[in-house]
Amino acid sequence: MPSPAPDKAPPAPRGLHVMTWGCQMNAYDSGRMVDVLATQGFHEVASPDQAELIILNTCHIRERATEKVFSELGRLHGLKRQRQAAGGRLMIALAGCVAQAEGEIIRARAPYVDIVLGPQTYHRLPAMLRRAEAGERVIETEFPPEDKFDYLPGEAAPRGPGGLTAFLSIQEGCDKFCSFCVVPYTRGAEFSRPAAAVLAEARGLVARGAREITLLGQNVNAWHGAAPDGTSWNLGRLMRALAGIDGLSRIRYTTSHPSDMDDDLIAAHRDLPQVMPYLHLPVQSGSDKVLAEMNRRHTRAAYMRLVARLRAARPDLALSTDIIVGFPGETDRDFADTLDLVREVGFAQSYSFAYSARPGTGAATRADQVPDPVKHERLQALQALLFAQQADFNARCLGRTLDVLIVGPGRRPGQMSGRTPYLQPVHLPGGPDLTGRIVPVTIEDARTNSLGGRLAVRPHTPEQEPVSA
Ligand code: 5AD
Ligand code: SF4
């Protein structure tokens, strides 16, 4: 597999600072950019002051996310000027979805940015860097014909807490064109990595200490990759292969679209103990009218039927979701339907947003935009309900014994911290010898965002007790 040729004599280590906004895919991409630049002598540093190169890996999903990037850029411009005044050099690269969508605008508005690169071109960073060092202002935001994954250094490193958890990007882009969403424009058309490449990367991550892998994709459950047996696999089949990797104890995947949840994938939840009983399944709205106008391609009833099938397959499954309030034309009645759906499903976790009109998307130019105060009132009402559900889900873990992957020290001395199957952080008394183990923990304390407990004394059947939100 081709990879960037390393320089002959290893250059002196150079400081690299990466700032990441947005989704887990961006977190994965940031890690891979670090891998690429390590071949050029760069190593990660904790602060911009120590860096020779700063990368801002940006998110374009909502207006607020984009604004944050521009205010950060202003701050870094100051740092760059100071550095130059002292005879030094600071290079700034803008990566990710803001770069993809607004590359030309950035070039005009922030001429001190040395490199603008989209999410599909970061394997070319070494060459871009050389051009920027020669004084060129580089902009690479096209969707190149080659597959960046073929050109990235082979080994991704697990980057989660303690190196025990890792992200693995298996699918990118989206063909769904929900009318609020920029992703099909910033990340491009759906693309699935071949099964062999995914399995090789997963084996590498496990060999380097990962016990839990989260498969990533904008539409991860639409994954359909070329398989070693010459056929095309779906995600359920891929997970069966992943479950065969020795030492890989936990598998997760995100983000899924309800209409791509097929029988095989539901069966994987039923049959594979490695597949965690926790699923992020965005619903966006509980109103059929709004769902249709969002171009979500499913109804409220279809979502409810899907939830029922998933829970039948895996009774201890808990769900999280994404919801948008204030989509153009959303009435009080539509919003009431959303609250009602949330009550009916019961979510363990959730992410909720006020609709933000994004340039170039279908709904952005609609005349019936919902006024900001109405959006915010609805968001508050929705979040009150969602937080209460989350607190309630955690409270119902009290007294239960859950399998916890211990990832590192806790906040206080003599404490360790870990994650339940439902991704709740847990603190418990214990020593560093527990790191990397999956241990039964009896939950004794429940807060909205975390749990406390102690090692269970009684025998325990792993990850079998039902809990549903
Ligand atoms: N406005 C508000 N929220 C949005 N999301 C995506 N686009 C927008 C937008 N224009 C939310 C959706 C999606 C999540 C990642 O972000 O809920 O699932
Ligand atoms: Fe955006 Fe819809 Fe694609 Fe998700 S499915 S990335 S919300 S267009």
Contact criterion met (CB below 8 Å) for 35 and 151: no
Ligand 2: residue of 176, 291, 322 to mutate (most ligand atoms within 8 A of CB) is 176
Ligand found nearest the CA of 177: 2
CA distance 434 to 417: 10
Q: How confident is the model at residue 151 (pLDDT cuts 50, 70, 90)?
A: confident
Domains in the chain with CATH codes: 14-140 (3.40.50.2300), 159-276 (3.30.750.210), 310-395 (3.30.750.200), 401-455 (2.40.50.140)
* pLDDT single digits (tens) 213-270: 999 999 999 999 999 899 999 999 999 999 999 999 999 999 999 999 999 999 999 9
Q: Is 26 in the pocket of ligand 1 (CB under 6 A)?
A: no
The two beta strands, 171-172 and 191-192, are: antiparallel
- Element holding 220 (H helix, E strand): none
Coil, strand or helix at 321: strand
Q: How confident is the model at residue 10 (pLDDT cuts 50, 70, 90)?
A: low
Per-residue model confidence (pLDDT) at position 464: 40
Mean pLDDT of the chain: 92
Q: Considering only 9-18, 84-93, 189-198, 370-379, which range has the smallest mean pLDDT?
A: 9-18
**Taking the CA atoms of the chain, what radius of gyration do you get in angstroms?**
23
pLDDT tops 90 at residue 41: yes
Q: Ligand 2 centroid to 92 CA: how many Å? A: 30
pLDDT tops 90 at residue 157: no
pLDDT tops 70 at residue 468: no
Per-residue model confidence (pLDDT) at position 20: 94
β-bridge partners, 57 = 20, 95
Q: What is the mean pLDDT of residues 85-112?
A: 92
* pLDDT single digits (tens) 317-331: 999 999 999 999 999
* Residue 255 alpha carbon, nearest atom of ligand 1: 18
Q: Is 218 in the pocket of ligand 2 (CB under 6 A)?
A: yes
Per-residue model confidence (pLDDT) at position 303: 98
Q: How confident is the model at residue 1 (pLDDT cuts 50, 70, 90)?
A: very low
The answer to whether the predicted template modeling score (pTM) of the entire model surpasses 0.85 is yes
pLDDT tops 50 at residue 341: yes
* pLDDT single digits (tens) 273-306: 999 999 999 999 999 999 999 999 999 999 999 9
Q: Is 427 in the pocket of ligand 1 (CB under 6 A)?
A: no
Ligand 2: residue of 177, 187, 296, 297 to mutate (most ligand atoms within 8 A of CB) is 177
β-bridge partners, 138 = 115
**Which residues neighbour 77 within 8 Å (Cβ) at sequence distance 6 or greater?**
92, 110, 112
Ligand found nearest the CA of 180: 1
| DSSP per-residue letters across 71-110 | HHHHHHHHHHHHHHHTT---EEEEEHHHHHHHHHHHHHH-
Ligand 2: residue of 178, 179, 351 to mutate (most ligand atoms within 8 A of CB) is 178
Contacts 24+ apart (CB under 8 A), 113-119: 113/73, 113/137, 114/138, 115/91, 115/139, 115/140, 116/140, 116/141, 117/93, 117/141, 118/142, 118/143, 118/186, 119/25, 119/29, 119/95, 119/172, 119/186, 119/187
Per-residue model confidence (pLDDT) at position 150: 80
